[in-house]
Structure 1
Amino acid sequence: MTSNDNKEISSHIEDITKALGDKIGKEVTVDELEKQLQKFLEYGVPIQQAKKTIIRKYGSDTSAGIKRKLLKELKPSESNVNIIGRVITVNPKEIELKGEKKRIFYGMIADESTVLPFTAWRDFNIEKGQVIQVTNAYTKPWQGIPQLNFGEYTKVEPSKEEIPGTQEIKRCKVDELKSGLGSVEIVAKILSVKEKEVDVGGKNKKVYFGIIADETGKAQFTSWHDFNLKEGEVARIT
């Protein structure tokens, strides 16, 4: 880091300390603020959004005893997780739990740092596109990344926070699909679909794979949930 970079960081830290006032030294130190700001920048978070997030973390959130984490900071098997994010997708699913049918909800949630899958074990009235504040969630390992879980003791409520870069889902064609594209929506025909069992963490799990196509080309897909896809059908995938 150059001396100019250090001066710029110091200037932003000064802005944060002014905003937090007497919380400095009581709830957080200047060194801790600098480390957190550096971490945000490493994640690629814009500097102004990083400052706003830190101020919010030690401002209104801390006064309520809640400290927010970025999604990219989460690790598998964490408890007491508090986050704010935008719901990218949400879908209901019927499962059998202890011999009884139960309706759960699964989808993707995003903040300024990354996108993660979530499972809600009851109906929190979550809507696609909604920004929510989640308190006392927990994570489980899923395909090498954390999966957020909203359980019996989780609180989910609407938030007025703005989460930059998460508002839009890109609508694209098959030939536009590529790694790192983010959240997309595509309409395609299911040319083939098969299922197989794989070992995940010592347990057998069914996965579904096949080929989708539109007028621009074909692509392989893998689904870790049973969407009841059928060959020959046209599906809208979000």
Structure 2
Amino acid sequence: MTHPALQGIALSRRYGGFAALRDVNLSVPAGEIRGLIGPNGAGKSTLIDVLSGRAKQWSGQVLVDGQDIGACSSRARRKLGMARSFQRTSIFPTRTVRDQLELASHWDSGSHVDEVLAQLNLAEFQHQPANELSYGDQRRLDLALALIGRPRVLLLDEPAAGLTMQESLDLAHLLRDLVKRWGITVLLVEHDMDVVFSICDRITVLNLGELLVEGSAQEVRTSPLVISAYLGRNAA
């Protein structure tokens, strides 16, 4: 039996009387880039935190390739093949690009540092401190750190945040080409709809902590529920 690469079953999380997630079910096949969108407060970051092991006091199941990893720490999930990035870059400003990737590789076998440098177009900057890079190159370094060890499942929380439109699209297509070649499964939280609609195989829409709609880019773009809750009339 073939299991989804990433699966969340009846995921719920509350903050006191507020339900940030309400019985959310998510199933992402291997090799798919799944977009996760919704208005502010929809529960997107909470869902990423639950899946990655950063959240506390949640209920439901998280499975990777059919294995229940709900009781695993974030570090254990990394060893099992799950990696994530954050809205803010997690780089060290004064360390060189290569130093940071080699540091990250200590936690993973088969780290492929040189391959990651080449694939993310960072080889020419490998001996520069991160604070000397442009912001766009810093975002690519952040993505490179998440890709060390070739994770099976990659959770990306707004990787294009702060980039220009062209930089966002360039990063998106670089990401799509890379994950398709490496067979990585991606769950992508992103507010830039041009990025989401151009690279995602399918899109999941959250609203008020619940699953609103799931489908192809065209199905989501034209859904009356999504237009009303999030995209607005101009998106259709």
TM-score, structure 1 as length reference: 0.23
Structure with greater strand share of residues? 1
Larger Rg: 1
Structure with greater helix share of residues? 2
